[in-house]
Amino acid sequence: MSSDDPNQPGLVITVTESIRLFLLAASNDRRLSEELRELALTLSSAANAPYKQIRSIWMESAFDTRPELISLFSGSNFVFTSPKPREKSEELKERLRKLKELAERKEYQELVKDITPKKDLNEPFSTYKDQIGFEFCWRYSWIGFWHAS
């Protein structure tokens, strides 16, 4: 990762009045290069500016004319940028689509529950209670059969 990448400015701070005055003075300072003077003029009208650029102008300014660094940045705040949203994977998109469909089906069922016929929830298989009842019935019928013969 390059430190001079324009898309990654690094630390960004708010431009306070003291920074603005320094940048305006630097834009008229003939001891600075033309590039730094143009940069200072551009940054003086901005609301936020990269720390590295302000510091580079400050470093090239004459020692006797520049303010102390601590007083220059006093009252300034950091500006944080939000990262770009992550891309969703195809698997996640598919899962979200299925969950949305399921939620829509449940919502629809909730809306029409009082006008649709009830679903028969009786299972075709016998329950444990039914099986025990059948077992007792079968045993007693055999016991009755043996006693009758």
Tally of structural domains, the chain = 1
Q: 87 vs 31, 92, 93, 94, 102, CA distance in Å?
A: 48, 10, 10, 14, 23
Question: Residue 8, SS3?
Answer: coil
Q: Give a yes or no: residue 7 inside a domain.
A: no
Q: Give a yes or no: residue 16 inside a domain.
A: yes
Q: Which domain holds residue 72?
A: 12-79
Alpha-carbon distance of 124 to 127, in angstroms, equals 9
Q: What is the pTM of this model?
A: 0.52
Q: Give a yes or no: residue 127 inside a domain.
A: no
Helix or strand holding residue 98 (H, E)? helix 90-111
Q: Give a yes or no: residue 63 inside a domain.
A: yes
- Token pair belonging to 127: 């329950």
Q: Give a yes or no: residue 64 inside a domain.
A: yes
Alpha-carbon distance of 131 to 137, in angstroms, equals 10
pLDDT in tens, 26-39: 999 999 999 999 99
pLDDT in tens, 69-126: 888 988 988 888 878 888 889 999 999 999 999 999 999 988 888 887 776 666 666 6
- The average pLDDT across 1-29 equals 79
Q: Can you list the positions of beta strands (E) in 51-102?
A: 78-79
Q: Give a yes or no: residue 55 inside a domain.
A: yes
- Token pair belonging to 49: 């500016």
